[in-house]
Amino acid sequence: MSIRLGTGDLARYPFLNEAGEYLRQSGFGWEELDRPDMADIIQRAAERIEAGVSGKVYEKLDRYETEILTFLVTLIMVKSIGMEPVLKKYALAEARRAEKFLTEDLRRQNDAQRQALLSKIFGDLFGLAIDTTEDGRLFKVKVTDYLARSSHFHEQEWKMINRLVSNGNVYLGPDETVRLVRNELAVMINGRVHAMSLPALPKAIKERSDTLRAELAPRYEYRAHSVTEYPPCVKHAIEVMNRGENLPHSARLMLATYMLAIDKPVDEIVEMFKNAPDFNERITRYQVEHLAGSKGSRTKYSVPSCDKLRTENLCFATKDCDSIINPIQFGRRRK
Ligand code: SF4
């Protein structure tokens, strides 16, 4: 069965192959990017990147021609900026934008439209077969597909024991179904930017990309001076964070508890996490305050022991670790 998407779908999901097909069929060429009327598209692309690196979802939605071109120019500009943390944060924001539209669409569209989306986005892009229940309110995913994607989610609700499972399928609501592929969407967008090779850029795009790079660079400067005295495990976590890469939950806990233990102010600790691809200041602040014992259970969390960090593959011991049993002891023996 051939499943057709509407133009509205292409506006909301400009990463679909059909959007690229639209550009090819319309005869759009590289030289068109230099037209004066592209100024509005370049402005939208810059706003989309700025929103992404600030951890926000770009909300504007225009006609599909505008959205497809904006998406293309945004990818070009992110590639031209050439900063991996910017790409990572932008890709995650783009995935979140698609996630928002997908959740809405799965809730309100009729069966045929919903089937088209399930087939094109989940099936074609991610090889994930999804079926709906008869009343169309829930979605069924094979247990193996579910486990492959949910195993890195930490929340209790994603544990199999807390799911409705029947006949080898896990049942999910629309938002949960979409959440399953968020990471894959981000990885796909990241991969597309990496795979791009740019010829000489049109002047207007180059100038705007250069300006954005100059504005964003200070956020990602590696603060070597503040890292050298930390134990290697903490230093490694800060370096990963500064590169804008994802840090496992256990490493975030180690980093935050260590910083609290050396009396770093909560504001500065929250600031350390700002390059995380999924950074949300409100949630991060709550979590740090929770670990400090000023929110929630009122229990102050200790820095995990070196033994525990070893079992979590978070230990990067050097000779300076000198048989210590907790990172908080690092440097004390030498003194
Ligand atoms: S030995 Fe302890 S302090 Fe040193 S890197 Fe490993 S976990 Fe960190």
Can you tell me the mean pLDDT for 83-92? 87
What's the chain's average pLDDT? 86
Which residue owns the Cα nearest ligand 1 atom 2?
306
CA distances from 100 to 37, 178, 191, 312 (A): 29, 9, 21, 33
The domain boundary, picked from 204, 220, 236, lies at 220
Can you give the pLDDT at residue 228? 57
Apex 183 CA angle, 257 and 212, nearest 5: 80
Q: Give 333's pLDDT tier (boundaries 50, 70, 90).
A: low
CA of 276 to the centre of ligand 1 (A): 23
- 309 closest CA partner among 299, 297, 321, 294: 321
Strands 164-166 and 169-172: antiparallel
Question: Alpha-carbon distance 231 to 329, whole Å?
Answer: 9
**Residues 305, 239 share a domain:** yes
CA of 242 to the centre of ligand 1 (A): 20
Examine residue 301 and state whether it is found in any structural domain, yes or no. Answer: yes
Cβ count near 12 (within 10 Å): 20
Pocket of ligand 1 (CB under 6 A): 231-233, 306, 309, 315-317, 321, 324, 327, 330
Examine residue 317 and state whether it is found in any structural domain, yes or no. Answer: yes
Examine residue 25 and state whether it is found in any structural domain, yes or no. Answer: yes
Q: Is the pLDDT of residue 285 over 80?
A: yes
The domain boundary, picked from 156, 185, 220, lies at 220
**Residues 274, 208 share a domain:** no
Can you tell me the mean pLDDT for 75-96? 90
pTM of the model: 0.66
Can you tell me the mean pLDDT for 179-201? 87
Of 20-29, 34-43, 280-289, 302-311, least confident by mean pLDDT is 20-29
Computed on alpha carbons and rounded to an integer, the radius of gyration of the chain in Å comes to 23
**Residues 228, 102 share a domain:** no
- Residue 130, classed as helix, strand or coil, is strand
Q: 288-307 pLDDT, tens per residue?
A: 999 998 877 778 899 999 99
Q: 128-179 pLDDT, tens per residue?
A: 888 888 777 788 999 999 988 887 676 778 888 889 999 999 999 888 888 8
State the closest ligand 1 atom to the C-alpha of 330, by its place in the atom list counted from 1.
3
Can you give the pLDDT at residue 223? 45
Its domain, for residue 41, covers 1-106+193-220
Task: Please give the single-letter amino acid code of residue 116.
Answer: A
- Residue 140, classed as helix, strand or coil, is strand
**Residues 95, 236 share a domain:** no
Using most ligand atoms within 8 A of CB, pick from 235, 309, 314, 329 the residue to mutate for ligand 1: 309
Examine residue 80 and state whether it is found in any structural domain, yes or no. Answer: yes
Examine residue 112 and state whether it is found in any structural domain, yes or no. Answer: no
Cβ count near 67 (within 10 Å): 22
- Buried/exposed code over 15-43 (b: 16+ C-beta within 10 A; e: otherwise): bbebbeebbeeeeeeeeebeeeebeebbe
Q: How many residues does the chain have?
A: 335
Q: 317-332 pLDDT, tens per residue?
A: 998 888 899 999 887 6
**Start-end of H helices in 143-265:** 143-150, 174-180, 182-195, 203-216, 232-242, 249-261
CA of 314 to the centre of ligand 1 (A): 8
Of 157-161, 183-187, 205-209, 275-279, least confident by mean pLDDT is 275-279
- Residue 109, classed as helix, strand or coil, is coil
Residue pair 299/214 in contact (Cβ under 8 Å)? The answer is: no
